[in-house]
Amino acid sequence: MQLGAAAATTLFDEVGPAGTVLYRLLFAAVLLLAIWRPRPAEADRGSLLLAVAFGVSLAAMNLCFYEALDRIPLGIAVTCEFVGPLAVALLASRRALDLLWVALAAVGILLLAGPSGSADSVGVAFALGAGVFWGAYILLSARVGRAFSGGRGLALAMAVAAALMLAPGIAVGGEELLDARVAAVGAAVALLSSAIPYSLELEALRRLAVGTFGVLMSLEPAVAALVGLIALSQGLSGAETVGIALVVAASAGVLRRPGAAAPTEA
């Protein structure tokens, strides 16, 4: 997934973050619709409204995240975004120990966004916004999964998200969206960021306890920082490195519980 995010940044000069999001959602929607073939006419009004809300959260989450990537390093963006699933898990918790994890995560975010960090404040705000929509995505995904069989709800939501991004994506990307090379990279972003990770996550969840899966997923900010360093030459200051480490530790502490929300991402 982080390799997909790194590839996405190479498209920003041509089609901007909005055009890149359009590519990712559109290619993913076509793939999911072809696989699941949902029939909206067979769903009730409540289920369709859920799918629409799910699609709105998908579009907003991806747009905020890519706008953040256009301004701040990948590792910092993913770390700030991770407050979404962390908050969802904490809201379901009744353990006093989780207050320690909240404090660790808060210190980590302050190190990234405060005066000691070098991150762009607008970029951090976009990343935190992506985290809010990621939290909404997690909560809605459970309800959509109950309302639709298989991946039909996700397919409908992805189509809604792609439709919402048509106007801003075309406005920013313009004719560059029709360039074959740029479109090929956009397809690769959709494959790396959606198709391959989702498949691996499904297989992992068949074999691992949710708590174990959550701890492994909590390493995502650290992996993002490593990919940013190797693929994009994005170095981090000492304070930023410590901030990421604190958020990873807090996430692992919260998500190791069997009942914690597993932080899958669209």
Look up the domain containing 213 and give its range: 2-255
CA–CA separation, 51 and 246 (whole Å): 35
pLDDT score, position 266: 56
pLDDT at residue 155 is higher than 80: yes
Q: Residue 261 falls within a domain, yes or no?
A: no
Q: Residue 13 falls within a domain, yes or no?
A: yes
CA–CA separation, 89 and 261 (whole Å): 5
As given in the structure block, the two tokens for residue 127 are 């990343």
Q: Residue 225 falls within a domain, yes or no?
A: yes
pLDDT score, position 106: 87
Q: pLDDT by residue (tens digit) across 207-255? A: 877 777 777 888 899 999 999 999 999 998 888 999 999 999 988 888 7
Q: Residue 187 falls within a domain, yes or no?
A: yes
Q: Residue 264 falls within a domain, yes or no?
A: no
CA–CA separation, 110 and 246 (whole Å): 11
Report the number of distinct structural domains present in the chain.
1
SS3 breakdown of the chain: % helix, strand, coil, rounded to 5? 80, 0, 20
Q: Residue 68 falls within a domain, yes or no?
A: yes
Q: pLDDT by residue (tens digit) across 125-149? A: 999 999 999 989 888 887 888 888 8
Q: Residue 75 falls within a domain, yes or no?
A: yes
CA–CA separation, 136 and 176 (whole Å): 32
User: pTM (2 decimals)?
Assistant: 0.89
CA–CA separation, 157 and 56 (whole Å): 8
Kindly report the average pLDDT of the chain as a whole number.
88
Other beta carbons within 10 angstroms of residue 53's beta carbon come to: 18
Q: Residue 95 falls within a domain, yes or no?
A: yes
Q: pLDDT by residue (tens digit) across 94-113? A: 777 778 888 888 899 888 87
CA–CA separation, 49 and 56 (whole Å): 11
pLDDT score, position 261: 61
Higher confidence at residue 92 or residue 115? Answer: 92
